[in-house]
Amino acid sequence: MEGQRRAAFVALVRGDAMAVARVGQLDARVAVDRMRMAVEDGSLGQNALKEDRELLLEVLGQLADPADHLYRQLNLKITPDTQLAYTNTKVLEKPTPLTSGSFASVFALKVENADGVAQDSVFKPLKATEEGWVGKWSGIPMDDPQVAIRNIATLSCAKKLGLDVIADTRLALIDTGRGPLDPDLGLLMERAPGKQARNADADWFKNPAVFAEVTKLQLLDHLTGQVDRHDNNYFIDVGPNGDVKVTGIDNDQCFGKDLLSPSDIRPLRRLPFHGTALPPVIDTAMAAMIDALEDDELHAMLDNQLSDDEVDATVSRLQGLRLHVDQLRSQGLVIEPAQWADPAMQARFTAQNSYIGRERTTHQVF
C-alpha cells in the first residue's frame, strides 16, 4: 500500500491510537505500544490477513518511532551533527505559525536550550522535495535537496572560519499542532535579533561595523555557494551600546555542485541568483581567515555531509577566494579593521559587488 491509500491508513491508525489514549487517559506513545502488543499477541486483529497485520505493525512502529521514519523519508544521514537536539520535552511555548508561503511554513516557539535557558526560536519543517528554488540552477537536486545538511554544513564552515554570522541550527522533532503522533522533523534555529536587512534603519548602512559584519556574511556565502541571500534572509542588529550582529537565516540554497567560482553566486546568464560579485574591500582579519583555511580541512569537515562533487566545488570556490584576497592585497584593498569608517573604502561598495552596496542602493544611502 502506497501513496494516498497508505496515508489514509496511517491517519486511521493514528486516530485509533489517539482514541485509545483519550479513553484510557494514557500518553499517546503508551497507547501505540499497547496496540502493537495486542496485535503481536493476537488479541487485536486476529482475523486480519497476514499482510494486513504486518502493515498494521509497520504503521504502529512508525507512530512509535516517528524520527526513524522521517529520517528515512528525507534520506537524511544520521551523523553527530544531525542527531536530534530538541523534542517536545524541551518546548516551553507551543509553536505558532510565523509565516506561511508558497514553499515553506515557519513556526515561532520558545525552547529550553542546552544551557537550560529559555530561547526564542524558529522551527522550519523539512520536506523531501523542493520546488521554486533558485538553488536548482546551482546544481542542487530538487528531488533530494538535503536542506538540513546544507544548513548544518554552512554553520560548520562559519565556525571553522570563526564567523558568528549564521543562526545556530539544530535538528528537532516537534509537534506543530497535528498531535504528538504526527510531529515534524525540522530545523530549529535561535531567532535572529534585530531587523531583516530589507527593514533595517538607513543609517545602519553607514555604520563601519555593519560594513564589516555584512562583508563577513558575504565572504561565507561565496565559499558555500549560497545563491539566495536576498535582503529578507539576513538580519542586522545594532545594539544600544553600538554592538553589531549580523545573522544569516535560511542557509539551504548552497553547496551546489555546478558553482566552481566564488563569484558565481551573482546573477549569471539571467539565472535568478540573489548574490553579488566578490567584495571590493576586506580587512586583514578576513584575509587571514581565508588564507588559513586549507583544502584538506574542508574535505575533513564536509566529506561526510555533502557529495564528492559538492565538496570539490566548495574547494574550488575556496581557491578562488584565495586568488581574490591576493588581488585585493596587491591593490592595497586589504585594510585594517579600523579603516572601515573610511568614506573612500565605503564608496567602493556597489550594488553589483556587495550586499552592503546592494542594500545601500535600495535604501538610497549615499
Q: Is 194 helix (H, G, I), strand (E, B) or coil?
A: coil
Mean per-residue pLDDT of the chain: 93
Q: Is 344 helix (H, G, I), strand (E, B) or coil?
A: helix
Predicted confidence at residue 174, as pLDDT, reads: 97
Q: Which of 122, 117, 112, 118 is nearest to 85 (CA)?
A: 112
Which carries the bigger pLDDT value, residue 353 or residue 79? 353
Angle, in degrees to the nearest 10, between helices 355-362 and 208-224: 120
At a CB cut-off of 8 Å and minimum separation 6, what does 349 contact? 211, 279, 280, 281, 356, 357, 360
CA distance 43 to 248: 54
pLDDT tens readout for residues 112-166: 999 999 999 999 999 999 888 999 999 999 999 999 999 999 999 999 999 999 9
Q: 117 near 194, Cβ under 8 Å? A: no
pLDDT tens-place string over residues 300-355: 999 999 999 999 999 999 999 999 999 999 999 999 999 999 999 999 999 999 99
This prediction's pTM: 0.92
pLDDT band of residue 102 (cuts 50, 70, 90) is very low
Q: Report, as an integer, the average pLDDT of 237-257.
A: 96
Residue 251's identity, in one-letter code, is N
Nine cell digits for residue 123: 522551527
Closest by alpha carbon to 138, among 258, 270, 278, 264?
258
Q: Strand, helix or coil at 346?
A: helix
Q: How many Cβ atoms are within 10 Å of 8's Cβ, its own excluded? A: 11
Rounded to whole angstroms, how far apart are CA atoms 321 and 219? 8
CA 249 to CA 124: how far, in whole Å? Answer: 11
275-286 confidence digits (pLDDT tens): 999 999 999 999
Evaluate whether 217 touches 246 at the Cβ level (below 8 Å).
yes
DSSP secondary structure letters along 117-130: -EEEEEEEE--S--
pLDDT tens sequence across 208-234:
999 999 999 999 999 999 999 999 999
266-291 mean pLDDT: 95
Q: Which residue ranges make up each domain of the chain?
A: 3-64, 195-362
Cα gap 301→304, rounded to integer Å: 7
How sure is the predictor about 363, in pLDDT bands with cuts at 50, 70 and 90?
A: confident
Say whether 212 sits in a helix, a strand or coil: helix
Asked if 158 contacts 220 with a C-beta cutoff of 8 angstroms, the reply is yes
